[in-house]
Structure 1
Amino acid sequence: MAMTSSIVQTPIARKISTNAVIRTVLAKGKISRADIAKLTGLSKQTISDVVRDLEDDGWLKPVGQTDGRPGRNAIIYEINASAGLAVSIDLGGTKIAAAICDLLGNVVVETEVPTDPRGGPHLVNQFSDLITQLALAAGTTADKLHLVVLGSPGVLDPATGHINVAPNIPGVDAMDLRQAFSDKMGIPVIIENDVNLAAQGERWRGHGVEVGNFAFVALGTGIGMGIIANGALLRGARGAAGEIAYLPLGGDAFDPGGFTLGTFESAVGSVAMLRRYAGFGGSSASTVADLFAAFNAGETSAIAAIEETARLVAIAIAAIGATLDPELVITGGSIGARPELVNAIRAFLPRCTPYPPRIEISRFGNRAALMGGMGIAVERMHDDLFGVKLRDA
């Protein structure tokens, strides 16, 4: 009597097979079952079973057929990117940028609104309303979103959920923002320093993709740094690694006034640049944009102000280089994105350090933190839903 047999995978074996299939589709994009089998080494029957289940569950979708090959055409599959959605929010002192992204990191919908100046609990309500509106625009509802990644100035205290050293965001140092926000939305919330997120954004899809050691230096109204060391974000013992606003440069480190904004930030932030410009005799610029316009027009006071700022930043980068030895320093923020300043920094660096790192301006402008939030959201969704690490895919 003829006998037939089939191999029934155990739950663990099926999970491993599913992981291998998802990993392959994430890495290769549009692909046939036969090609998945070749790349994974799994049997055609196992691939067929796993792909069928993933398609039934909505994670994979057919997108066409192969052509130009011998034999019958085969169905081509890809990740159903819309099956998983998450939110990235960049909280600033004057504005909030927010976006919903899908499983592949595509932006589904994006917006920007003024920050509620009352801060504290009012921000939680503003976030909730903003996410509800974004979800509606994306054709879904807030409860269908997988998670929220929130970037904020300051340092998150992991024990209390309070955000410290964020003077432009009132009330966040007196509440567990993460818990309050998560309770309000009913979905997980990750809070990260905004400059750390900017570094993550560059690591995900920017200048840092192929670089294991680099620093993202944000220069604007405030000053901060995100550090990628040996391929991973460096947070430090209290989450304050990279708080270069407090470097003892550009002023008296023992002046207690520097405890609020930081000695270095007080010397190179936008307010300091305008003060320096006025000190050099300038009178036509009332904003940093005006200052750069005056620089480009050849005004002596503007040139002196920007060059002195660049000199101080170069010293800070030399200190960063001596401490961290980064291959690359990426600059961003409203001031750090200006090529006039960055070119001056590049000129000063070889004069204050024997090993000046490469300097690049962020590819993302003021969207760097938003990009980093999306990168973390995508990585978390891949891990939660498929057990696949983004960097492994």
Structure 2
Amino acid sequence: MTDISNSALLTRQITSRTVLRAVFENAPISRAELARLTGLSKQSMSEIVRDLEDDGWLRVTGRTQGTIGRSAITYEPEPRKAFVFGVDVGGTKVHAALADLSGTIVGEIVEPTDGRGGERIIEQVARISDALIDKTGVAQKSVKVGAIGIPGAVHPRNRHLTMVPNIAGLTDLDFEAALKKRLGYEILIENDVNMAAKGEQWLGNGRNIDNFVFVALGTGIGMGIVNEGRIIRGARGAAGEISTLPIGADPFDSRTFTAGALESSIGSIAIRGRYEAMGGAPGLTVRELFERKDDPLAATVIDEVARVVATALVAISAIVDPEMVIFGGSVGARPELVERITFHLARCVPVPLSCTISPLGSQAGLFGAIAIAMERLRETLFEIPGRTELAVASMMEKTA
């Protein structure tokens, strides 16, 4: 007969996690309201809340006035009970932060990406994690989960990286497992544009929108897709890699194979090339080109790029039907460009897409990393411990 002596303990753990979830979702909240939401008796609720306070998960946040004049103590999660580590790794810089349970950043570091790539990136990220812990005074054991955005595709099953053109050596590593071993806590890696889309969903223009796309346009072009409230990754983690769309250039031209037809047409290198081919001043950066307000050649280039982007968005809309397009990146954040994109969209579809610029700027990816790490932490907190064992024990008890 199966030993079920731990069933009571498991039940207690399940109940505690149910209460903790209710506090996370409804704080500030009183014990009476928690009892009503969970169906537990007031006595049981008092015991569980006391245990959660003693363990440091809850703190008193104030009092609420009762219906008959009696006040009730309200509770919320203790923000400093646990922390998450969020990182946005780009081709030129690494932006990392520690955040508490409320999502508040308690410390951050920005530094150039180690140009040697590969294992040096693992060591760099680990060193930054250690530095943030020292800087903030957070206990090492309090950091529970980390999430890292990488400019490449992450295979959803084997977790290996592919399509990482801007950082050498990452496709040859089991990056996620190696960093987890080095840091001692769970690490999740994700495509950087997907991270930015997650950031928009959490704090940006994607809040309260179930279906939208985040389009990052700069040196290259990428897209994060939020469909029915969830990030779409695809079979190989490459959903949203729109640089290869057969738009703007000949997809059969071998010169476009590396960057992709669309990126070859509207990436920052292509924008400068268009301008100089028309006789524009050589050597300008894309930013300088956009700032030439009285230059008719610059205006023509911006309009041509906007037309290509609008064409791509029509194709994207036919597949994923987003409610909104949120633009980011050094080029995508230019209001002059988005204005012309909106103009061209109105000319080629009966119901134009709503287009806007990210309010988060370059921090969208970092905020997305924090959001994903927090989601995973909460999943871990609310997982039912011993779910399988408890189910088997209950079945054996009934049949014994």
Give the 5 Å matches for 1:83-232: 83-158=81-156, 161-232=159-230
Which segments of 5 or more consecutive residues in structure 2 lack a partner in the other structure?
1-6, 385-400
Are 1:142 and 1:185, in contact at CA under 8 Å, matched by a contact in 2?
no
Indicate the residue corresponding to 1:342 in structure 2: 338
Q: Percent identity?
A: 46
In the alignment, the residues of structure 2 paired with residue 28 and residue 160 of structure 1 have an alpha-carbon distance, to the nearest angstrom, of 36
Give the 5 Å matches for 1:215-294: 215-283=213-281, 286-294=284-292
Which segments of 5 or more consecutive residues in structure 1 lack a partner in the other structure?
1-8, 389-393
* Equivalent residue letter for 2:337: L
* Equivalent residue letter for 1:339: P
Which 10-residue stretch deviates more, 278-287 or 221-230? 278-287
Are 2:56 and 2:78, in contact at CA under 8 Å, matched by a contact in 1?
yes
Alpha carbons of structure 1 residues 336 and 138: separation in structure 2 relative to 1, 3 Å: same
Query: After the TM superposition, which segments of 4 or more aligned residues of structure 1 sit over 6 Å from their partners?
Result: none
Report SS of the residue matched to 2:326.
Answer: strand
* CA RMSD, 1 decimal: 2.0
In the alignment, the residues of structure 2 paired with residue 71 and residue 311 of structure 1 have an alpha-carbon distance, to the nearest angstrom, of 64
How far did 1:301 drift? 1.3
Are 2:326 and 2:355, in contact at CA under 8 Å, matched by a contact in 1?
yes
Are 1:98 and 1:111, in contact at CA under 8 Å, matched by a contact in 2?
yes
1:93-126 deviations in Å (ceiling 9; x for gaps): 0001111111121111122110001100111111
Aligned length: 378
How far did 1:158 drift? 4.8
How far did 1:161 drift? 4.4
Give the 5 Å matches for 1:322-333: 322-333=318-329
Alpha carbons of structure 1 residues 141 and 17: separation in structure 2 relative to 1, 3 Å: closer
Which of 33, 36, 47 in structure 1 is aligned with 2:34? 36
Alpha carbons of structure 1 residues 302 and 142: separation in structure 2 relative to 1, 3 Å: farther
Indicate the residue corresponding to 2:367 in structure 1: 371
* Equivalent residue letter for 1:314: A
In the alignment, the residues of structure 2 paired with residue 178 and residue 17 of structure 1 have an alpha-carbon distance, to the nearest angstrom, of 33
Which of 294, 303, 311 in structure 1 is aligned with 2:299? 303
Alpha carbons of structure 1 residues 159 and 68: separation in structure 2 relative to 1, 3 Å: closer
Are 2:155 and 2:235, in contact at CA under 8 Å, matched by a contact in 1?
no
In the alignment, the residues of structure 1 paired with residue 202 and residue 276 of structure 2 have an alpha-carbon distance, to the nearest angstrom, of 40
In the alignment, the residues of structure 1 paired with residue 232 and residue 66 of structure 2 have an alpha-carbon distance, to the nearest angstrom, of 49
Structure with larger RCO (C-alpha < 8 A, sep 6+): 2
* Equivalent residue letter for 2:208: E
In the alignment, the residues of structure 2 paired with residue 142 and residue 353 of structure 1 have an alpha-carbon distance, to the nearest angstrom, of 54
Are 2:81 and 2:142, in contact at CA under 8 Å, matched by a contact in 1?
no
Are 1:223 and 1:265, in contact at CA under 8 Å, matched by a contact in 2?
yes
Report SS of the residue matched to 2:276.
Answer: helix
In the alignment, the residues of structure 2 paired with residue 279 and residue 146 of structure 1 have an alpha-carbon distance, to the nearest angstrom, of 53
Are 2:35 and 2:42, in contact at CA under 8 Å, matched by a contact in 1?
yes
In the alignment, the residues of structure 1 paired with residue 157 and residue 315 of structure 2 have an alpha-carbon distance, to the nearest angstrom, of 31
